[in-house]
Amino acid sequence: MDELRRLPHSLEAEQAVVGSMLLDSRCIPDAIELLQSGDFYLPAHRDIFETIYEMFLAGDVVDPVTVLGRMRVRGVYDETTSREYVGRLLDATPTAAHVRQYSSIVREQSILRQVAQVAGDIQALALEPAVEAHAVLDSAEQRIYDIRQGRSSQDLYKIPVVLVDVYRQIKELSEAGGRLPGLSTGFPSVDLKIGGLINSNLIILASRPGMGKTSIALNIALHATRSSGKTVVFFSLEMSREQLVKRLLSTEASVDSNVLLTGALSPQDWSKVGAAAAALSNVALLFDDNPAISVAEIKAKCRRVTNLGMIVVDYLQLMQGTPGKRFDNRTTEVGDISRSLKIMAKELDVPVVCLSQLSRETAKRGKKPVLSDLRESGAIEQDADVVLFLHRDDYYNEESTEHNLAQVIIGKNRHGETGEVDLLWEGQYTRFAQEWRQEGQHE
């Protein structure tokens, strides 16, 4: 009884929610939209909610008689109390019309209980001997973020619970006319093969220096934020934010990047740059050019971004491993970074595009890259959901007839096929275009 008084809860609101679901099955979607079984404080309420949830998913008739029968099948029926308690729930529920208000009260009390639990756990962790401060901070931030997002890292999910989410996602895609499951890259042929940039995925974009991987990453980031309305955060460990924005101006205005670099703009160029600057001012694209940032710092910053849609990191080999952690070699450290990036993608539920260097062996061969060319690869290949290589034959071969042809090579795709996509590289504007045609070729 002491615990019952101590922890935040509202037995009346919980009774009203399950009572409403029993009283009128039409209000069940409202309740399951706002609540999970773990939000109920009393175990009996959890059992009834889970039973109704399961029956609703299966399309069964939900009423007091059928629910009691299913509770027997599930082994959560108490012969001495269940029927009597269900009767009391119906008597205690004034109306099913206010189920959303009842559910909001239950959810509010559940959040307060979770916060109290996390506060106690963090206090206990902070008082442990030899604990590292950054570990406590990271744990505290993650646990609070999970509560804010309506998730708990300690939850175990039954198939019926997951099926509801999967069914909702499929239905949304179907109603949208079979749209991409992820954010668009801006290159339809690439989207067609990988399904766009899918939430919780780690996408590795790799090439040798000078191939244009930063440029294509900027192109993708700009298109993704414009097409989705979501915020994209670009972490650059190599180039300054001014350099990146100059590239965006060149791309948007179709003004030679060298002209922007020297400042030798014509009146027409100034007009184009002005229009491009006005257009870019409304784009939800954020930059961070800290050259010594870690995954933990990236995650902490992105947790505070509203309407986060995607994260871009340029590039993997410049990053630091987990602070305070010792590594036997650089390959092990890079593996730790790639694993941390994948975990971050899952926790924040957004696609993470991470640029990566390829080994010098790729340049020596002068051939198209393969997965084994990933520099200091370690676990990169294993952690990535999608690996994209950027290749230009004319970069290695001056006599190449495929001038300005850039190929996106899909070396790994956890969700579909691999293959190649041809793009046009417009180096003077630091951008890629969807269509490439060999010189002299006509439509």
3-state secondary structure (DSSP) of residue 305: coil
Tokens of 68: 């009691």
Sign of the CA dihedral 287, 223, 199, 357?
Answer: negative
Indicate left, alpha or beta for 400 from its phi (over 0: left) and psi (-120 to 50: alpha).
beta
Contacts 24+ apart (CB under 8 A), 393-402: 395/208, 395/210, 395/211, 396/363, 396/366, 397/366, 401/438, 401/439, 402/438
Within 13 A of 350's CA, how many CA atoms are on the CB side?
Answer: 25
Cα 18 from chain centroid?
33
Neighbours of 35 (CB within 10 A): 22
Torsion of CA 391, 397, 398, 402, to 10 degrees: -50
Listed in sequence order, the residues at least 6 apart from 252 whose beta carbon sits closer than 8 Å to its beta carbon are: 222, 276, 279, 280
Q: Do 373 and 331 contact (CB within 8 A), yes or no?
A: no
Within 13 A of 265's CA, how many CA atoms are on the CB side?
Answer: 17
Separation CA 79–CA 83 (nearest Å): 7
Listed in sequence order, the residues at least 6 apart from 197 whose beta carbon sits closer than 8 Å to its beta carbon are: 182, 183, 184, 185, 203, 220, 224, 310, 351, 353
Listed in sequence order, the residues at least 6 apart from 34 whose beta carbon sits closer than 8 Å to its beta carbon are: 100, 103, 104, 107
Q: Do 99 and 15 contact (CB within 8 A), yes or no?
A: no
Asked about 238 being catalytic, the answer comes back as yes
Cα 252 from chain centroid?
27
Of the listed 141, 238, 402, 426, which one is catalytic?
238
DSSP bridge partners of 213? none
Separation CA 143–CA 145 (nearest Å): 5
Question: Which amino acids are annotated catalytic?
Answer: 238
